Amino acid sequence: MLRPITNSKSLIKAIIEKSSLKQEVYLKTLGVFDIFKQESETFVKTNIGAIKKAPFPLLFEYNDRSKFEFQLKFGSDILIFFMHSNVFEIPRDHVMMKSSYIREDKNRSYCGIIHIFNFLADSFKYNRSNDIGYCIGRIFVNRENHYFTEGKREIGLLYNNFSGSNLDRKSIKTILHSAVLYTLNFDLLTPPYDNIKEVSVAEMQSTLDAMLISTGKRLGFRFQADVE
């Protein structure tokens, strides 16, 4: 249990220290996110010529949506990279909290988080608001620029050495390519027949964005099984 702070001087000191720590983590994560933007834009510019040689027109775009969001579009997919504006402490029961790296300095457990979401491109193109997207990975960054990832297959299995991993441009490029590779192999499956066998007249007559026939790559299946 935390001991109460009985004088304002100590309280102000605690406010300054905690706020400064979180601001340092925030700025470090924002810098990393900007590099993700740069590498994604470079990825598109470098390879757009090869994409244009494909036998059919292919979607291949980079869109900077805001300070905290950008989109990478390729083929039938969209990856949305989203940085949360707040700083989080790693949960106490998380495996990383047992590491000597964090036990030596608890402040290392405060992280900014960058999420990677996968959606179908058609979900946005046709404004299908009921469609499903998936968080395929997230990156945790602390004030020392150390990081680890959680996610599916390529994203989640390769980057878990928190104490020894510095998030440099090379690492960011590798994570980006891993996210694209996982998405390419994460295919759209037919939903179970029982999920779609009944459709009302109103649903059939309504616009696509109001229809209750949601589309998602694993809709009706256990997405967790894909880690196997």
pLDDT tens column, 103-134: 999 999 999 999 999 999 998 998 888 788 88
Max distance between CA atoms of the chain, in angstroms, equals 72
Q: What is the pLDDT of residues 70-108, one digit of tens each?
A: 999 999 999 999 999 999 999 999 888 989 999 999 999
Domain ranges, residue 66: 11-185
For residue 216, is it within any domain? Answer: no
Is the pLDDT at 205 greater than 90? The verdict is no
pLDDT score for 8: 87
For residue 205, is it within any domain? Answer: no
For residue 108, is it within any domain? Answer: yes
Contact 187, 217 (CB under 8 A): yes
pLDDT score for 9: 86
| 13 or 207, greater pLDDT | 13
Q: What is the pLDDT of residues 146-204, one digit of tens each?
A: 999 988 766 655 567 888 889 999 999 999 999 999 899 877 666 666 665 666 655 55
For residue 110, is it within any domain? Answer: yes
For residue 214, is it within any domain? Answer: no
Q: CB-hemisphere CA count at 13 Å for 201?
A: 0
Count structural domains, the chain. Answer: 1
**Position 86, amino acid:** N
Other C-beta atoms lying within 10 Å of the C-beta of residue 97: 15
pLDDT score for 161: 82
For residue 199, is it within any domain? Answer: no
For residue 73, is it within any domain? Answer: yes
For residue 228, is it within any domain? Answer: no
Is the pLDDT at 213 greater than 60? The verdict is no
